[in-house]
Chain A
Amino acid sequence: MNLKKIRITISTAVFILFLLTFLGDEATSTALSDTLLYFQFTPSLLQFINKPGHVIGLGFLLLFLASMIFGRFYCSFFCPLGILQDIFIWIFKSHRKKHTFQRPYRLVPCCLLLLTIFIAVLGSFSLVNLLDPYSLFGRIAAHPFKTLVLWINNMIVDVFEQFDMYAFMVRKQHHIPFSILTVSIVSLGIVLAFSIISGRSYCNTICPVGTLLGIMSRFSLYRFVIDKKKCRSCRSCISVCKAGCIDMDKLEIDPSRCVTCFNCTDACQKMALDYKAQLPIPSSGQWVPSKRNFLISTAAIGGTFLSTAFPVRLSSFETEQNRQVPIIPPGSKSIAHFTQHCTACHLCVSVCTTNVMEPAYLDYGVSGIMQPKLNYLQGHCDFNCNACGQVCPTGAIAPLLLPEKKLTRIGTVSLNKEKCIVHVKKKHCGACGEVCPTHAIFPVEKGFVLFPEIDIDYCIGCGACEHACPTKPRAITVTSEIVHSKTKKYFPSASALQPAGKHDNGFPF
Chain B
Amino acid sequence: MNKPNSRERRKFLKKSLAAGVAVGGSLLWGTPDRLFAKVAASETPDLVAVKNGEPDDMFNQAITMMGGMKKFVKKGQTVLVKPNISFPRKPEIGATTNPLLVKSIIAHCFGAGAKKVYVFDNISLSSYGMAHKCYKESGIGEAAKSAGALVAPGDNEKYYQKVTISNAKTLVSTEVHELVLEADVFINVPILKNHRYTHQSIAMKNLMGVVWDRMKYHESDLEQSIADFCLFKTPDLNIVDAYRVMKRFGPRGSTPEHVALEKTLLISKDIVAVDAAASKVYGMEPEKVRYIRLGYELNIGNMNLNELNIQRHVMGG
Which B residues are closer than 8 A to A by beta carbons?
49, 51-52, 88, 116, 124-130, 132-133, 150-153, 155-156, 195-198, 215-216, 218-223, 247-249, 251-252, 254-255, 257-258, 260, 262, 264, 277, 280-283, 290, 305, 310, 312, 314, 317
Contact = CB atoms under 8 A, between A and B. Distances in A.
Interface stretch (A46-54, A297-305, A403-411, A496-504): A496-504
A338 to B, nearest CB: 22
Interface residues of A, number: 48
Contacts of A439: 249, 254
A266 interface: no
Nearest to A422: B197
Classify the secondary structure of A's interface with B: loop
25 contacts: A169-B132, A170-B156, A353-B133, A356-B127, A378-B127, A379-B127, A380-B127, A382-B127, A421-B219, A427-B220, A427-B223, A428-B221, A429-B222, A430-B222, A431-B215, A434-B196, A434-B251, A439-B254, A470-B218, A470-B219, A492-B249, A506-B52, A506-B312, A507-B281, A508-B283
Interface in A400-425: 421, 425
Contacts of A166: 150-153
Contact of A427 (B127, B221, B258, B277): B221
Given A495-B258, A506-B312, A509-B280, A431 B130 contact: no
Contacts of A355: 127-129
Contacts of A428: 197-198, 221-223, 290
Contact of A435 (B128, B252, B257, B283): B252
A172 B128 contact: yes
Given A436-B252, A507-B49, A170 B281 contact: no
A472 B200 CA distance: 27
Interface of A: 164, 166, 169-170, 172, 353-356, 378-380, 382, 384, 421, 425, 427-431, 433-437, 439, 442-443, 450, 452, 464, 467-468, 470-471, 492, 495, 497-501, 505-509
Q: Which 10 residue pairs across A and B have the least CB separation, nearest first?
A: A430-B197, A379-B127, A500-B283, A470-B215, A353-B129, A354-B127, A470-B219, A508-B280, A431-B218, A470-B218
B37 to A, nearest CB: 18
B222 A427 contact: yes
Contacts of A164: 116, 150
Contacts of B153: 166, 169-170
B150 A500 contact: no
B310 A509 contact: yes
Contact of B252 (A434, A443, A495): A434
